Amino acid sequence: MSIGILGTKLGMTQIFDETGNAVPVTIIQAGPCPITQIKTQSTDGYDAIQVGYKETKTKNLTKAELGHLAKTNSPALKVLQEFIVNTADSIEIDKPITVELFNDNDTVNIQGYSIGRGFSGYQKRHNFARGPMSHGSKNHRIPGSIGAGSTPGRVYPGTRMAGRKGGNKVTIRGLKIVKIDSERNLLIVKGSIPGRPGGLLTITKKV
């Protein structure tokens, strides 16, 4: 894995390319992410950097978390995440990670949590067809048979039924960076990304 940056989804809009075609884009508030720890092969058994994101109030963190951040003079940070790297020798702990990590037209992978839909039924969760709505039918939105007959006489594990939908970690790969605003720490990415506006995202370069 390469070094990445944490960000927040702000929302979607559209821009126009050179030929006048409307291009859907997502705007991401990315970083800055201070480096809170550097792990090396000699001390930790692997090379990685730990970065933080979203300053918060001191009262929201435990003493252990505050003590960990104090080692690098970092502010109280809500989110900490590691990125495994090939070598951590050239990384300086006093330089935060910003959108300048990327360039225009770079291809990135973005990870976030999809919108949670709660407990959902068969039609919404699995796109099942409904039953007849008239002629005396009472089978409108019920699932129908879930059995496999007398043999094996049980319901197979994994049978599609009603249940929790959404709220899963999703990675969208190969998204193109259309524009970078270094002054406001914004990434403008072509296409859609998982989650609601305000959701936490992890952005890494596509390897």
Looking at every residue in the chain, the average pLDDT score rounds to 90
- Nearby residues of 118 by Cβ (< 8 Å), 6 or more positions away: 164, 165, 166
pLDDT of 14 higher than 90: yes
If pLDDT is split at 50, 70 and 90, which confidence band does 140 have?
Answer: very high
Strands (E), the chain: 4-16, 22-30, 35-39, 48-55, 77-84, 107-113, 118-120, 163-165, 169-181, 186-190, 200-205
| Residue ranges covered by each domain of the chain | 4-205
Does 1 have pLDDT greater than 70? no
Ramachandran quadrant class, 100 (left: phi over 0; alpha: psi -120 to 50; beta: rest): alpha
Contact indicator for 34, 74 with CB cutoff of 8 Å: yes
Indicate if the pLDDT at residue 42 is higher than 90: no
| Whole-number percent of the chain with pLDDT over 90 | 62
pLDDT at 190 over 80: yes
Which of 33-47, 107-121, 140-154 is predicted most confidently? 107-121
Residue 147 has pLDDT above 90, yes or no: no
- pLDDT score recorded for residue 40: 87
How is residue 13 written in tokens? 């809009």
Look up the CATH number of domain 4-205: 2.40.30.10
